[in-house]
Structure 1
Amino acid sequence: MSFFPKISFQCEVEEYLTKVFRNNELITALGGQEAENKYQSLLSRLSHPPSFTTVRVNTHLSSVKHVKKLLFEEIQKQFKGLCVPVLEHPKLQDILLIPVIGPRRDLKKHPSEVIVGAQCGYAVLRGAHVYVPGIVSTSRSVVKAGDLVSVYSDIEGKCKRGAKEFKGVKVFLGNGISELSRSEIFSSSGPLKGLGVRMIEPVYLSPSFDNVLPSHLFLQNLPSVVVSHILNPQPGEKILDMCAAPGGKATHLATLMHDQGEVIAIDKIANKVKKIKLNAELLQLNCIKAFCYDGTKALSVEKREDEQEGPPFSPESFDRILLDAPCSGMGQRPNMAYSSTLKEVTSYQPLQRKLFTVAVKLLKPGGVLVYSTCTITLSENEEQVAWALKRFPCLQLHPQEPHIGGEGMKGAGLTLDQLKLLQRFDPAAVTLQGMDINSLQDSREDDLISLANKDCIGFFIAKFVKSKSK
């Protein structure tokens, strides 16, 4: 058993990434050892959760000040009076930041164990309790509700469901109280739902948001909030969110537009489109229209004269377009074992280019296109920008506001001026290894905001403007 190992990749993916972060441009700029140190730091940071939980306030229904007060009271209750602040961001005025305390290394481990799947484990590290579908196995000693248990994540997916013992690679997530007996968890009458383990001593202390102000706030990573501000939709405009599920950015765009205009949200998976609609309904936003449709086919061959509002769309139909593209997801945190193959990783670039080509054709002259991913590779980020500028002379890179991440990474042949117009959120830029309550109380608010801007998920943003026809 190891405690928070660096993220691991399949060998071929590891070799691929090593070449990315040792490319000639980067080594020339940083030096070989510094480039290597930065890469190793990135691998370490990716396995830990970000240092802050980011909450976007639904300003369509409530003020940031009001939600901040309610949230502070809720956190005081959850943390039993521990004084953890709720911070307002000076450049993102619709979000609140809650510092995450940990990792706590002094927790006593109990003999009774609960093993959860990797995705459930990552959710626990970010403040969630354990729900029954996430439980893979328990010790035979978990015999009744109310038992104290230690929770571990099977990061490699090798534990057999229902096993009474697991000797494989597992990571300690903290302690909790079992809400069910072992026999109830693995009932033969079918899979149960609901709470399985209530976490009382998590390794990372972060608030749980189960049923907390559901219509007034939305849990969202900080860079994902930045994207919508950069697109900067205006009331009355027609906006397209091309890969919109589960609707975090679509609902944010609608809120920034004061629910006036149209946000067309498409996704090709029906269940995910239902989630978009549910989120729009929960946040009481009426200008969002969600459709189950493949974004690569969203362009109508001929200009349509009918009044149908759904896809496919006529060329030059939208004032602004957000392409938060499907990607390899290597910037997501925490992640300790990345299972995708090199073939899967490299399959995203051509898909992103198909979607980008459609987006350019659907954008009105003078319109804004924002391209973003939650990954760290050059091929899905800076290389896509270089390709787009060459492929579409009608596009120009534009400055981003707010610009709180770093500049683009060298290696794709872009100029220094072009790299400065890009925004890359790079967890490797952070040297801090966790935060305890004493260091939190000794920190200035400006320093905490600066840390929040850096210690988030890996993310990339590019903003283009389409030139007007002459």
Structure 2
Amino acid sequence: MYYPKSPFVKCRAVESQLFRRNLPHFEDFLQWLCETPKITTYRVNHLETTTENFANKVRSSSQSFQCTVTTDPNLPEVVFLSKGKKLAKHDPTLKEVIVDKSCGAALLRGAHLYAPGVLAMQSGTKQDEVVNVFADLEGKCKKGTTTEYLSDQKTFIGIGQVKQQRYQIYGDGLDPKGVAVEMVSTVSGVPSIGDLSSTEALLQNLPSIVCVHVLDPKPKEIILDMCSAPGNKTTHIAELMGNQGTIIALDKTESKIQLIKNKVQNYGFDSIKPFAFDSTKSFDETLIRKSALEGPPFGRNTFDRILLDAPCSALGNRPVLADSLTPKMLSSYPVVQKKLFCNAVELLKVGGVLVFSTCTIVEDENEGMVKWALDKFPNLKLVDATPFYGGEGVEGCDLSDEERKKVQRFGIKNRVEDVDSVGFFISKFIKVE
């Protein structure tokens, strides 16, 4: 199904009564969900370079895209890249390249098209040829298709220039890598400068950066990142600590933990200790005086601060081009989040800080979780999730007005007007006696 205001979105979960109940102003939200955020942010590693130096590097890369590069003294490690004015228009005389919905969303955020993301490219497409790029919303385009893909559920993403031909992408035994199509412009207007990430700075959504500032890590503390992959917030914690202290980074699978190990090696953050472990089992009440460095599980009152950036429905990662979530799937996330939360409360020291966050806008996974936690754990105190860049908690939820003002929800209405980011939620607790 397609929506009149949102021709890109196909999302069963959005149609559910559960979702409609949790989000007032449904049609406005739907429009917002399918739009590309107006700002792109890089987080500068001050252990490697200065914000001004990296900002100048971005300016030199984005001059032809008519966009603005700015900084914010309240977030001194962030470089903001505004939406440009160069909008793509479909050209029916050009050949086409097809990508999946996830890749299409990345292109609308300013990425170039890498070879593994190319679903189809028409025969005879030459090196440096200019092409139309479409996203296949229904997922029925066969890999390697040679002809025009006929479907009323494909959407135009933008214009690009071919850098790899078919034989380089689809040849037998090949492991295609690198940029296959360099995007020239997109319908979102976000400048297609690719990813300038390096050890100097990392492409990262603004709410994720704010989230670690809310945690407010200090040098020499012992900190737990319960769901740490791919490690962007983990490395940010290390940077704010000056790489002094201990950060235990957990995630369930070895493949995800390997991503963090790679970052540790690239950045040289020896304060980060990654472990492949299920955080729903990270607390063991029989353990006494076990060092965090020995690895999971851990005993009671082990950590000064805990970041629980929980698994969630991810219905905040704009733009959403299509989605196959069902109401049943949506209802499963709070179950896992509660298990993780119970472990976190036991592992946190008295006086310690727990930050709970998600990259979704679903009330049951956000304000609903905060209400549940306050009712279940009388030794938790909800405090202001500062610095505030997002908006208040959703009106009509189970939290009081005072509690709604303490949490931070990035959505349609934010406290800072110019902040148009992905959807996100942050709450902060202190463990008391």
| TM-score, normalization by structure 2 | 0.93
Q: Equivalents in 2 of 1:63, 1:323: separation in Å?
A: 29
Provide the secondary structure at the position in 2 that maps to 1:94.
Answer: strand
Q: Does 319-328 or 182-191 show the bigger shift? A: 182-191
Q: Equivalents in 2 of 1:356, 1:366: separation in Å?
A: 17
Shift of the alpha carbon at 1:345? Answer: 1.3
The aligned residue for residue 134 of structure 1 is 117
The aligned residue for residue 149 of structure 1 is 131
2:285 to 292, 296, 301: 301
The aligned residue for residue 266 of structure 1 is 250
2:142 to 148, 160, 180: 160
How do 1:61-80 and structure 2 match up within 5 A?
61-76=48-63, 79=64
Higher relative contact order (CA 8 A, sep 6+): 1
Q: Does 171-180 or 200-209 show the bigger shift? A: 200-209
How do 1:214-253 and structure 2 match up within 5 A?
214-253=198-237
Shift of the alpha carbon at 1:73? Answer: 2.0
Q: Please provide the CA RMSD for this pair.
A: 2.2
Provide the secondary structure at the position in 2 that maps to 1:316.
Answer: coil
Q: Equivalents in 2 of 1:4, 1:111: separation in Å?
A: 26
Shift of the alpha carbon at 1:376? Answer: 1.0
The answer as to 2:316 corresponding to 1:331 is: yes
Q: Equivalents in 2 of 1:3, 1:281: separation in Å?
A: 46
Q: Equivalents in 1 of 2:117, 2:370: separation in Å?
A: 39
1:42 to 17, 29, 33: 29
Shift of the alpha carbon at 1:85? Answer: 2.5
Deviations 1:257-313 (A, max 9, x none): 111111111000211111112123223322111110000011123124455521111
The aligned residue for residue 435 of structure 1 is none
The answer as to 2:264 corresponding to 1:277 is: no
Contact kept, 8 Å, 1:49 with 1:126, in 2: the verdict is yes
- Equivalences, count: 427
Contact kept, 8 Å, 1:3 with 1:172, in 2: the verdict is no
How do 1:318-467 and structure 2 match up within 5 A?
318-426=303-411, 428-429=412-413, 450-453=416-419, 455-467=420-432
1:9 maps to amino acid: C
Contact kept, 8 Å, 1:5 with 1:44, in 2: the verdict is no
The aligned residue for residue 25 of structure 1 is none
CA shift in 2, pair 1:300/1:346, >3 Å = same
CA shift in 2, pair 1:363/1:265, >3 Å = same
Q: Equivalents in 2 of 1:84, 1:102: separation in Å?
A: 7
Q: Equivalents in 2 of 1:450, 1:300: separation in Å?
A: 42
The aligned residue for residue 80 of structure 2 is 97
Shift of the alpha carbon at 1:336? Answer: 1.5
1:124 to 93, 103, 107: 107
The aligned residue for residue 47 of structure 2 is 60
1:124 maps to amino acid: L
Contact kept, 8 Å, 2:123 with 2:166, in 1: the verdict is yes
Contact kept, 8 Å, 2:100 with 2:119, in 1: the verdict is yes
Q: Equivalents in 2 of 1:83, 1:278: separation in Å?
A: 35
Q: Equivalents in 2 of 1:103, 1:355: separation in Å?
A: 44
Contact kept, 8 Å, 1:109 with 1:175, in 2: the verdict is no
CA shift in 2, pair 1:452/1:284, >3 Å = farther
Contact kept, 8 Å, 1:110 with 1:148, in 2: the verdict is no
Contact kept, 8 Å, 2:290 with 2:299, in 1: the verdict is no
Unaligned runs of 5+ in 2: none
Provide the secondary structure at the position in 1 that maps to 2:428.
Answer: strand
Shift of the alpha carbon at 1:189? Answer: 3.2
The aligned residue for residue 179 of structure 1 is 163
CA shift in 2, pair 1:13/1:356, >3 Å = farther
Q: Equivalents in 1 of 2:10, 2:248: separation in Å?
A: 38
Shift of the alpha carbon at 1:411? Answer: 3.6
The aligned residue for residue 9 of structure 1 is 11
1:217 maps to amino acid: A
CA shift in 2, pair 1:11/1:45, >3 Å = closer
2:10 maps to amino acid: S
Q: Equivalents in 1 of 2:243, 2:128: separation in Å?
A: 46
1:53 maps to amino acid: T
Contact kept, 8 Å, 1:114 with 1:139, in 2: the verdict is yes
The aligned residue for residue 96 of structure 2 is 113
Shift of the alpha carbon at 1:340? Answer: 1.7
CA shift in 2, pair 1:4/1:136, >3 Å = farther
* Identity of matched residues, %: 39
Q: Equivalents in 1 of 2:356, 2:133: separation in Å?
A: 38
Q: Equivalents in 2 of 1:106, 1:166: separation in Å?
A: 19
1:389 maps to amino acid: L
Shift of the alpha carbon at 1:467? Answer: 0.2
Q: Equivalents in 1 of 2:131, 2:312: separation in Å?
A: 37
The aligned residue for residue 238 of structure 2 is 254
Shift of the alpha carbon at 1:155? Answer: 1.8
